[in-house]
C-alpha cells in the first residue's frame, strides 16, 4: 500500500491543499502532528485532515498547547501569540478532536513507527547526528518517521550516524529495506525551515519499501495574506516566502 505522510501543517490550508492536489496514488495518510499553530486556518485544516482516511496519527506540541493539555509558557512570544489566537479560533468540536489525538510514538507496522519529536520524548527536536543517535536508541522499529524540526532529511543509524538533507533533490526515494535503522523527517507541510519554501511531505510504499520525499509549490501569498488579516505576527507571514 501507499501512504501519504503529513507533518507540521500548522494551519496552512494552501500548503495542505497543494499536497493533496499533487499526490493521488495513496490509500491512507500518516499524520505526525502539529496540525495547528502559526497559520490562519486551524479549523479548515483540522476539518480537511479529519476527512482523510488515516492509518495512524499522533499529536504535536502545538496541538497540545492549543487544547490546554500543555502550558503555553514554553513557547517563544511569536509562537505564544499565535497559539493563543488558535485556541480562541478553534471550534469546540475541533478542539475536542485535537485534544483526543494520541501521544507518540505509535508503531505502524513491523518496520515503521511514527512520532512527532522523538520516540522517547514527543517534544524533543532531532536536529543533528547526536540528536539522531539519542532518538534512534529509543526507537522500537528500524524506521522512525518524525517531524517537529520542519527540516526534511534522513539520518541513517549505525556505528556512525549519517545525515542527508534532501530538499534540493526531490523527489528523493529512500529505499529503507537496504538499511538497518533510520530516522526520516519528511519535512513540514505548512512552515518549512530548510530554506525551501515549498510544502514538504512523503509518500510511503510499504510493498516496495520505499519512502519518497517530495515538495510542491503552493500559493504562499494567499497564506501570508490570511495571517496578516488575522493580525497574527508579521514574521509568521514573512518566513513562509523564504522557508525559514
CA triple 156-159-160, angle to 5 deg: 55
pLDDT at 159: 54
CA distance 169 to 167: 5
| Cα distance between residue 81 and residue 75, in whole Å | 9
**Strand ranges, E, within 2-76:** 2-6, 28-31, 54-57
Domain boundaries, the chain: 2-242
Fold assignment, 2-242: Purple Acid Phosphatase; chain A, domain 2 (3.60.21)
Does residue 206 have a pLDDT over 70?
A: yes
Cβ–Cβ < 8 Å for 199, 190: yes
6-44: per-residue pLDDT in tens?
999 999 999 999 999 998 899 999 999 999 999 999 999
- What is the model's pLDDT at position 168? 65
Q: How confident is the model at residue 179 (pLDDT cuts 50, 70, 90)?
A: confident
Lookup: cell for 53: 482516511
pLDDT reading at 165 higher than 90: no
Mean pLDDT of 160-183: 79
Q: How far is CA 11 from the centre of its chain?
A: 11
* Cell (9 digits) for 99: 485534544
Quick check: 164 and 156 in contact, CB under 8 A? yes
Residue carrying C-alpha cell 505548512: 190
Task: Quote the pTM value.
Answer: 0.95
Is the pLDDT at 73 greater than 60? The verdict is: yes
C-alpha cell at 28: 491512507
The alpha-carbon radius of gyration of the chain (Å, integer) is 17
Tens digits of residue pLDDT in 78-100: 999 999 999 999 999 999 999 99
Sheet with 153-157, edge to edge strand ranges: 106-107, 112-114, 143-146, 181-185, 153-157, 162-165
Q: What is the pLDDT of residue 178?
A: 83
- Residue-level pLDDT at 162: 63
As a whole number of Å, the end-to-end CA separation of the chain is 33
Amino acid at each position: 500500500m501507499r501512504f501519504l505522510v503529513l507533518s507540521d501543517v500548522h494551519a496552512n490550508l494552501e500548503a495542505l491543499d497543494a499536497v493533496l492536489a499533487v499526490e493521488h496514488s495513496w490509500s491512507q495518510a500518516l499524520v505526525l502532528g502539529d496540525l495547528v499553530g502559526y497559520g490562519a486556518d486551524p479549523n479548515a485544516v483540522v476539518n480537511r485532515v479529519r476527512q482523510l482516511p488515516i492509518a495512524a496519527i499522533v499529536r504535536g506540541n502545538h496541538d497540545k498547547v492549543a487544547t490546554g493539555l500543555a502550558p503555553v509558557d514554553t513557547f517563544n512570544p511569536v509562537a505564544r501569540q499565535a497559539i493563543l489566537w488558535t485556541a480562541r479560533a478553534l471550534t469546540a468540536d475541533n478542539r475536542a478532536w485535537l485534544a483526543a489525538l494520541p501521544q507518540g510514538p505509535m508503531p505502524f507496522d513491523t518496520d515503521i513507527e511514527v512520532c512527532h519529536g522523538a520516540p522517547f520524548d514527543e517534544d524533543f527536536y532531532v536536529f543533528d547526528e547526536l540528536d539522531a543517535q539519542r532518538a534512534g536508541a529509543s526507537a522500537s522499529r528500524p524506521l522512525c518517521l518524525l517531524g517537529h524540526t520542519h527540516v526534511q532529511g534522513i539520518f541513517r543509524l549505525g556505528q556512525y550516524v549519517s545525515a542527508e538533507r534532501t530538499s534540493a533533490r526531490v523527489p528523493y526515494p529512500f529505499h529503507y529495506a537496504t538499511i538497518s535503522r533510520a530516522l526520516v523527517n519528511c519535512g513540514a507541510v505548512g512552515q518549512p525551515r530548510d530554506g525551501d519554501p515549498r510544502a514538504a511531505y512523503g509518500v510511503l510504499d510499504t510493498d516496495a519499501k520505499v519512502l519518497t520525499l517530495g515538495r510542491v509549490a503552493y500559493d504562499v501569498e494567499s497564506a501570508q495574506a490570511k495571517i496578516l488579516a488575522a493580525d497574527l505576527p508579521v514574521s509568521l507571514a514573512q518566513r513562509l516566502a523564504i522557508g525559514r
